[in-house]
Amino acid sequence: MSEKTGRVFSGARPTGRQHLGNYLGAVRNYVDLQDDYDCIYCIVDIHALTTLSETGKLREWTYEMALDWLAAGIDPERGTILFVQSHVPQVTELHTILSMATPLGWLTRLPTFKEKVRQQPDNVNYGLVGYPVLMAADITLYKATVVPVGVDQAAHLEFTREIVRRFNNHFGEVLIEPQAKHTDFPKVLGIDGEQKMSKSLDNHIEIAATPEEIQQRVMQMVTDPQRQYRSDPGRPEVCNVFSLQKFFSADQAERIEQECRAADIGCVDCKRLFARNLADYFAPFRERRAALAAEPDRVWEILADGAQRATAIATAVMAEVREAVGLPPRR
């Protein structure tokens, strides 16, 4: 495909407008990976069906997420393929074939499965059990060599590697065992300073938020709980505002840290500064987003083009897989 060092695949469920946690944990990394890899990024709408009882927003969330990703710098003109999982139906065919090579006990023993059963006891569907197999199909259908993973996702990728080894042992070296590329950004906490930033917990800050919305959310952020008065010295190491300042106000972080410890800056002023820096950081992003949003068909066209390019890879891989497992050739 090119002189790059491998092929990256990553997918995320359609969750609509992205927040700082999505950006720092994934999107920013997706953008950077384009320098060194051929990248395939997928909005995994079929995966979303395993846990959603209401699916009415899936289209809107897919569109909004694609819009954010594109405006953030995921760039099909650099060769990146951006597409929607269900637009390349071969993934369901590979999922079925891989499921034959996956012992059921592997799946039901997974801590993630047990957790989902606990979370949605009234909706323990078959798709939920097979979720990791579908994930393996996502990755292997495009012969990805590298998958970016956070610390908490490493086990998922290891599962894919196990399925690949088992499949290849049985049918020959057809599928590629992907390598993990670990991402280093720690968990991003929400404005409550306690739980992981999440849209469902409404503790998030959207990257497409206006400067006014950013200011409003930032002013609600929990800081050092022991700092009750302006004259109390602060502890930046336990303050969520500071942990984000370090990224979005990197050139001022040292000064803020000193001023906080010496009680030379109050939390209100510190938050105002952070809100301004955050709004400035995303200003070019907001501009690109607005330009793209002005022609909504453009986003769907990009996704359709991505699906077409992904299909070309998937069709070739499925021909190899079908032959390897002995299915009769299609004429």
One of 34, 145, 223, 249 touching ligand SF4 (CB under 6 A): 223
Q: Is the dihedral of CA 89, 129, 162, 158 positive or negative?
A: positive
- Regarding 270 and contact with ligand SF4 (CB under 6 A), the answer is yes
Among residues 234, 249, 303, 318, the one that binds ligand SF4 under rule CB under 6 A: 234
Alpha carbon distance 114, 107 (integer Å): 10
What mask, x for binding ligand SF4 by CB under 6 A, covers residues 165 to 204?
----------------------------------------
The percent of the chain in helix, strand and coil, each rounded to the nearest 5, is 55, 10, 35
Instruction: Round to whole Å and give the CA distance between 19 and 21.
Output: 5
Comparing CB distances to ligand SF4, the nearer of 181 and 227 is: 227
Look at residue 40 and give its three-state secondary structure.
Answer: strand
Task: Please name the residues in contact with 82: beta carbons below 8 A apart, sequence gap of 6 or more.
Answer: 41, 42, 43, 66, 69, 70, 74, 76, 302, 303, 306
Q: Which is nearer to ligand SF4, 244 or 313 (CB)?
A: 244
DSSP assignment of 114-171, as one string?
HHHHHH-TT---HHHHHHHHHHHHHHHTTT-SEEEE-GGGHHHHHHHHHHHHHHHHHH
Nearer to ligand SF4, 68 or 224 (CB): 224
Considering only 224, 277, 279, 306, the residue that binds ligand SF4 (CB under 6 A) is: 224
Q: Which stretch binds ligand SF4 (CB under 6 A): 95-103, 193-201, 203-211, 238-246?
A: 238-246
Interface map 90-129 toward ligand SF4 (x if CB under 6 A)? ----------------------------------------
In contact, 62 and 43? CB cutoff 8 Å: yes
317 is a site residue for ligand SF4 (CB under 6 A): no
**40/265 with CB nearer ligand SF4:** 265
CA gap 152, 283 in Å, rounded: 31
Please identify, among the stretches 82-90, 178-186, 219-227, 313-321, the one whose residues bind ligand SF4 according to the rule CB under 6 A: 219-227
In 3D space, the residue among 232, 234, 218, 205 whose CA is nearest the CA of residue 271 turns out to be 218
Torsion of CA 271, 243, 16, 39, to 10 degrees: 140
Tokens of 212: 């006014």
Beta carbon of residue 136, minimum distance to ligand SF4 (angstroms, whole number)? 43
CA-to-CA distance for 182 and 218, rounded, in angstroms?
Answer: 29
Among the listed ranges 21-29, 139-147, 264-272, 307-315, the one in contact with ligand SF4 (CB under 6 A) is 264-272
275 binds ligand SF4 (CB under 6 A): no
277 binds ligand SF4 (CB under 6 A): no
Q: Does 83 bind ligand SF4 (CB under 6 A)?
A: no
Are 271 and 191 a contacting pair, CB within 8 Å?
no
Q: Which is nearer to ligand SF4, 63 or 242 (CB)?
A: 242
Task: Report the interface residues with ligand SF4, using CB under 6 A.
Answer: 223-224, 227, 234, 236, 239, 241-242, 256, 260, 265, 267, 270-271
